[in-house]
Amino acid sequence: MNRRNRIRLTETDQADFLRDAKKAALATIGKDGFPHLVAMNFIARDGAILMSSYAKAQKVVNIRRNPKVAVMAERGRHYGELQGIMIRGECEIITDPAVVVETMRAIRGREATGAEPVEIPATVSTKRVILKVIPAKVASWDHRKLGGRY
């Protein structure tokens, strides 16, 4: 088995990794052709990555122009510890107020440390959207599988 295949995460491992990951980087393409890269909170649901943003944010402007995006989540400090997933796909912008509020609750619920329910005012849905990344290609890696070999 080649090295690339040896370090790939299984589908189950990918789902577990995305459930536990705290942040992801979202890359969109600016009008000048350069990447626009931002850190995002997210949830993985039904094979898609969901994030919340202000509707007027630069990333949303970029997605309206070109829906091709990449998302990367990673962890590890040293090469032999690195694990991650890179997802390339098309991003759908969801404006339905009920979906915006429900998804924001789910995203913020991952961050909550207390027992209090996460409250999202319904009025927030007039300024926010949900970014739904539908994967077209997924690459993953777990350098721990190399057994200390770099």
pLDDT single digits (tens) 58-68: 999 999 999 99
Compute the distance between CA of residue 37 and CA of residue 1 in angstroms, rounded to an integer.
34
At 27-59, the pLDDT tens digits run 999 999 999 999 999 999 999 999 999 999 999
Is the domain defined by 3-146 classed in CATH 3.30.70.260?
no
Alpha-helix residue ranges (DSSP H) falling in 21-149 = 58-65, 97-111
pTM of full prediction above 0.75: yes
User: What pLDDT score was predicted for residue 117?
Assistant: 61
Compute the distance between CA of residue 111 and CA of residue 42 in angstroms, rounded to an integer.
10
Q: Is 138:14 a contact under the CB 8 Å cutoff?
A: yes
Number of Cβ within 10 Å of residue 65's Cβ equals: 11
